[in-house]
């Protein structure tokens, strides 16, 4: 009986690992009849999330007792973060009742709210049963299989016929494809298996920062050396692909996350076994950066400086992008003034902007504001923003208080910091399921204290003892 009890969390743990490994995949599957009209349920990622949550519930919610008791360092903050996240999800679900477009398109708020509710439950499962090292391995694996797709697309300047995996057809002459121009030169930004180069960069950012934790693996055995060298290879591969996406927000996120991880793991630099893989990583990344800059210098200038001369005297694509984002920031502030307390409803801000645009001469379509904090405020009001900020801050304090600060936990928290920084310049950490999973799942895993594993084993032993007494 004890052996069977010990295996109970396994389905949930498998679901967690599969979900993180599938983050770079935008593939949509046939509709689940139970959720017929709701778009979010068609993502392949949704299935392992349901496996994790369902497996955890069937197993009797192992680890929940430790989370509820606030065991371990930072336990009270972890419990507070989980509670705020669950209340935020409930508030998002409630917002369907006053959503701006609820009568015309009720599924807009419904699908957004359902997705976030599932993410919140998934984060609780991660906090209860998941292993930070297993999540790091899953995210690193995501880089291994997704980065080569991005690199080949960039070199080939088109899609590579992976339609069965959900790849979007992209060529330079297609309307709406994300391009860079430098004089007579045109560069098609790679999409990977995501719907936009910025989101492709986002998943590469998440996986690369997590894989950096592998550089600090312990042990002088061949296994430890292999993990560290594998981490060096994955980080180099991830940075190479990330540079080719030309995502400025992801570059800033990588810098912020890298600095955060380095500070948290500063004491590990005394370990001599990590010096070689660190030197190899730094050297290889520098070489990749120099080669990339030499090969794409005109596009780097156009992308980072908005150089109109590089565009052949035409209107700069980058300046147009900045001006469009300013328009939506203004719309977000306007929407917040109109509904400061409860917002326009989960997922409804793009529809609200469509009505604003109808009153202007702008050649734009309704879209999200490229700023997650304004997006949360506009959609869920001041109440939602307070809950969002509280969940994020409490979870971060829990990470910093939990002991020990292992490389895996530091790498996952670096992901959280990176996405929080990206959120100042793009909307996907709030609006897209994949990045909601990355943000809240990594935050939940990064706060795990060493004593929580003991708490879970204690719960299992108690369950086994009780089952034995029941049988007797």
Predicted confidence (pLDDT) per residue in 76-101, tens digit: 999 999 999 999 999 999 999 999 99
| Structural domain count of the chain | 1
Instruction: Give dist(CA 66, CA 48) in Å, integer.
Output: 24
Q: Which tens digit of pLDDT belongs to each residue from 170-221?
A: 988 888 898 998 888 999 999 999 999 999 999 999 999 999 999 998 877 8
pLDDT band at 289 (very low <50, low <70, confident <90, very high): very high
Answer whether residue 321 shows pLDDT above 60: yes
Q: What is the mean pLDDT of residues 375-397?
A: 97
Sign of CA pseudo-dihedral 192, 194, 197, 199: negative
When the pLDDT of each residue in the chain is averaged and rounded to a whole number, the result is: 88
- pLDDT of amino acid 471: 39
Winning range, highest mean pLDDT, from 152-166, 214-228, 377-391 = 377-391
pLDDT at 3: 46
- Token pair for residue 224? 């430890």
Quickly tell me which residue has 């801000």 as its tokens: 349
pLDDT of residue 470: 37
Mean pLDDT of 319-323: 71
Q: Which of 247-251, 309-313, 356-360 has the highest mean pLDDT?
A: 247-251
Containing structural domain, residue 110:
2-471
Q: Span 33-38, mean pLDDT?
A: 69
- Encoding tokens for residue 413? 């928290």
Separation of first and last alpha carbons in the chain:
13
Residue 43 pairs in a beta bridge with 28
Question: Tell me, what's the pLDDT at 30?
Answer: 82
Q: What is the pTM of this model?
A: 0.91
The pLDDT of 297-323, averaged and rounded, is 66
**pLDDT for the residue 464:** 44
| pLDDT the model gives residue 70 | 75
> Each residue of 409-456: pLDDT tens digit?
999 999 999 999 999 999 999 999 999 999 999 999 999 876 555 545
């Amino acid at each position: 009986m004890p052996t069977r009890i010990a295996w109970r969390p396994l389905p949930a743990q498998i679901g967690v690992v599969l979900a993180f490994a599938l983050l770079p995949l935008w593939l949509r599957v046939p509709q689940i009849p139970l959720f017929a009209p709701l778009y979010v349920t068609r993502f392949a990622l949704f299935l392992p999330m349901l496996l994790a949550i369902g497996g955890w519930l069937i197993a009797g919610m192992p680890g929940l007792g430790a989370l509820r008791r606030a065991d371990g360092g930072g336990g009270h903050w972890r419990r507070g973060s989980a509670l705020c996240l669950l209340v935020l999800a409930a508030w998002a679900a409630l917002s369907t009742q006053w959503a701006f477009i609820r009568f015309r398109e009720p599924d807009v708020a419904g699908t957004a709210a359902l997705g976030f509710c599932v993410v919140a439950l998934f984060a609780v499962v991660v906090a209860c049963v998941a292993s930070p090292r297993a999540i790091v391995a899953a995210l690193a694996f995501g880089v291994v299989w997704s980065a080569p797709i991005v690199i080949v697309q960039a070199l080939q300047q088109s899609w590579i016929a992976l339609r069965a995996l959900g790849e979007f057809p992209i060529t330079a002459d297609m309307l709406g494809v994300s391009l860079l121009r430098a004089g007579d030169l045109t560069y098609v930004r790679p999409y990977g298996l995501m719907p936009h180069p910025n989101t492709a960069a986002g998943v590469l950012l998440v996986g690369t920062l997590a894989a950096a934790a592998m550089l600090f693996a312990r042990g002088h055995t061949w296994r430890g050396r292999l993990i560290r060298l594998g981490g060096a290879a994955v980080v180099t591969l991830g940075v190479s692909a990330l540079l080719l996406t030309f995502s400025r927000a992801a570059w800033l996120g990588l810098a912020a996350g890298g600095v955060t991880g380095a500070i948290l793991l500063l004491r590990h630099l005394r370990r001599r076994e990590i010096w070689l893989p660190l030197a190899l990583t730094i050297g290889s990344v520098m070489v990749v950066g120099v080669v990339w800059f030499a090969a794409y210098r005109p596009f780097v200038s156009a992308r980072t400086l908005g150089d109109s001369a590089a565009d052949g005297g035409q209107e700069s694509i980058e300046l147009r992008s900045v001006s469009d984002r300013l328009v939506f920031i203004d719309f977000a502030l306007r929407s917040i003034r109109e509904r400061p307390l409860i917002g326009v409803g989960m997922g409804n801000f793009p529809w609200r902007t469509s009505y604003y645009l109808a009153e202007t001469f702008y050649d734009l379509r309704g879209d999200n504001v490229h700023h997650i904090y304004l997006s949360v405020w506009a959609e869920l009001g001041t109440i939602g923003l307070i809950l969002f900020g509280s969940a994020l801050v409490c979870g971060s304090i829990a990470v910093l208080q939990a002991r020990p600060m292992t490389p895996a936990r530091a790498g996952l928290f670096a992901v959280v910091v990176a996405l929080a920084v990206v959120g100042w310049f793009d909307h996907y950490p709030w609006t897209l399921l994949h990045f909601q999973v990355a943000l809240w799942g990594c935050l939940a895993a990064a706060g795990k204290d060493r004593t929580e594993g003991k708490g879970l084993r204690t719960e299992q032993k108690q369950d086994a003892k009780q089952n034995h007494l029941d049988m007797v």
